[in-house]
Structure 1
């Protein structure tokens, strides 16, 4: 069935099915990436939230498990400081004091953390490591600097740019990106305000490179709709988060499966940039206290110790749970290859059904 689902993107990336697993932070490691790539899609390692040494280890793990193409997802925000020492951290705001009090009641200690997503130097090092390993694809989140594209092309790697606005797609194309991933506001993690269908239509009007759809995609019928509009593939996150090979905690996967159709919100509370996540106590403490939010990257430095403390303790109510708006349609935790095959089969069925429609 999957062999019937093929677009020019497959030839460009050396894959069999135009479905890619998103490089989610603290979720997408070598194991899930290998499972997806071995099944014919494009697997990704989320390199933003881990150390350069861990990026190296996860790429090596992938290469042991697969000889297929690999993507490494990195972040290059224009306003990222060189390191944590360059960020002036204010006193804890009221919501985080409340969160700390509640974590204390559970016997959970909040410790300072080294946040790899902050350091531009670390992300440059991660890029060097990935390219030295011969990684075939680099995904750029939160910006696609021309120097990154040049470095990738010099090593024969393709570049994919994840964007949330049409103007960002124009900029990425101007800087030489090979593929644009348009992520609608429905997506989990960092996301813009424009819905996927509108954003996809906007970018397809001027794009001179292949365009991939992202944001809330958990069913093949959704992917089929995007393909009929002109997208050449799909970038899927939350559906793969709830998989056996996902690096997310079991309680995180459980939270996705248990979520309702209106369980997510989009807020600045995570790191000062808009992030979509599941509602829980981590988000609830900020309600009515939005005036205490700090800009990126200060907000990120403030919240990360709480995020990691709750993660380590598996305290689902207080964890940060980035998730797409489609989470309410996810009700199981199968293997990543099974997810890929299911999505491909559903997409083909939807496309065949659409082909039977007669207008007039």
Structure 2
């Protein structure tokens, strides 16, 4: 594999600027490890089912990476609002990730993310970890990006657009607008050191997408939905078949998805994008949600794909088969290289 050199590949020591999103219920130890082994960088996400389950994912990662001890070349992602719950059991999950020596921590959707950034940095200081754990913070606006850079001195900014699968700001701009806005705002600041690399996130599922954002000035791309059809993805067979059958227009945003599964503690303005399902349409049209929830639960027991909440972004349309994660990384990388070469070939002397 040829190497695409950007600020993120140099920071992480990887060959291609492809970063696996930490997707709950999808990005486990196997998927994160295979993405990293293929030259990208993988994040795993706790499914919030307890410390023992999360510890198992680290055992899986260590086995695949052949790292029985010591630091791991993967990251772990956490939801700020889950960490911030009173007497939150999820703080132990963050501490477990740090004990395992992950290379990076990804934080999103919290009212006090600075608190958890301090926790990570204090852990590094007390343990003497070198190099220190990298901090990724997900942002949906220019203002959030500037706070993360100026106040928290984060290592990487993840610019998440409205196209993203899973959760995000319902008022986020398209990622094609958000990334240039953030880059412009960072470049306009008085000189105070180099700004952090910016990664584009939201609906990106092809090498063309990656090359386009590299051309815009992003350091790389966060890819989520494309890896939902990786063989190592934790999605169920029902969910994977639904992803393969979906069209680009199948991925819709709604607050109802979380109402159906009783996960409504997200910060104000945050909703989710998943594959459209009759239950969501029914609730939005005024149906009794308690009755709809019963119907969804019964359908899920039968294995009915229309009763399964399947998070996915707008890049879902072209996905038509299962693949090993390493093949997905290679295809994205090779296609991006081809597009970048073609773009440079178009340039000539006047």
Q: TM-score range by the shorter chain?
A: 0.7 to 0.9
Q: What RMSD, in angstroms, separates the aligned Cα atoms of the two structures?
A: 2.6
Determine the structure 1 residue equivalent to 2:121.
Answer: 153
Determine the structure 2 residue equivalent to 1:232.
Answer: 219
Change in 2 beyond 3 A, CA 1:39/1:135: same
Change in 2 beyond 3 A, CA 1:147/1:304: farther
1:69 is paired with a residue whose SS is strand
Specify which of 76, 81, 101 is matched with residue 80 of structure 2.
Answer: 76
Determine the structure 2 residue equivalent to 1:251.
Answer: 238
Determine the structure 1 residue equivalent to 2:94.
Answer: 127
2:185 is paired with a residue whose SS is coil
The more displaced of 330-339 and 146-155 is: 146-155
Describe the superposition over 1:82-136 as per-residue Cα deviations: whole angstroms up to 9, x where unpaired: 2xxxxxxxxxxxxxxxxxxxxxxxxxxxxxxxxxxxxx61221111111011111
Determine the structure 1 residue equivalent to 2:342.
Answer: 353
Alignment partners' CA distance in 2, 1:304 and 1:238: 26
User: Normalising by the residue count of structure 1, what TM-score does the alignment of the two structures yield?
Assistant: 0.80
Determine the structure 2 residue equivalent to 1:338.
Answer: 327
Q: Is structure 2 residue 285 aligned with structure 1 residue 288?
A: yes
Does the Cα contact within 8 Å between 1:307 and 1:320 map onto a contact in 2? no
Alignment partners' CA distance in 2, 1:39 and 1:309: 40
Determine the structure 2 residue equivalent to 1:65.
Answer: 64
1:206 is paired with a residue whose SS is helix
The alpha-carbon deviation at position 306 of structure 1 amounts to 8.6
Does the Cα contact within 8 Å between 1:282 and 1:320 map onto a contact in 2? no
Change in 2 beyond 3 A, CA 1:335/1:282: farther
Alignment partners' CA distance in 2, 1:209 and 1:305: 47
Does the Cα contact within 8 Å between 1:9 and 1:233 map onto a contact in 2? yes
Specify which of 204, 221, 236 is matched with residue 183 of structure 2.
Answer: 204
Determine the structure 2 residue equivalent to 1:165.
Answer: 141
Determine the structure 1 residue equivalent to 2:200.
Answer: 213
1:270 is paired with a residue whose SS is helix
The alpha-carbon deviation at position 146 of structure 1 amounts to 1.5
The more displaced of 145-154 and 185-194 is: 145-154
Does the Cα contact within 8 Å between 2:75 and 2:102 map onto a contact in 1? yes
Alignment partners' CA distance in 2, 1:311 and 1:240: 23
The more displaced of 161-170 and 123-132 is: 161-170
Does the Cα contact within 8 Å between 2:256 and 2:284 map onto a contact in 1? no
The more displaced of 141-150 and 224-233 is: 141-150
The alpha-carbon deviation at position 304 of structure 1 amounts to 9.6
2:235 is paired with a residue whose SS is coil
Alignment partners' CA distance in 1, 2:173 and 2:114: 25
Alignment partners' CA distance in 2, 1:62 and 1:168: 32
Q: Is structure 2 residue 187 aligned with structure 1 residue 188?
A: no
Equivalent residues, number: 314
1:129 is paired with a residue whose SS is helix
Change in 2 beyond 3 A, CA 1:4/1:161: same
Determine the structure 2 residue equivalent to 1:46.
Answer: 45
2:222 is paired with a residue whose SS is strand
Alignment partners' CA distance in 2, 1:72 and 1:306: 35
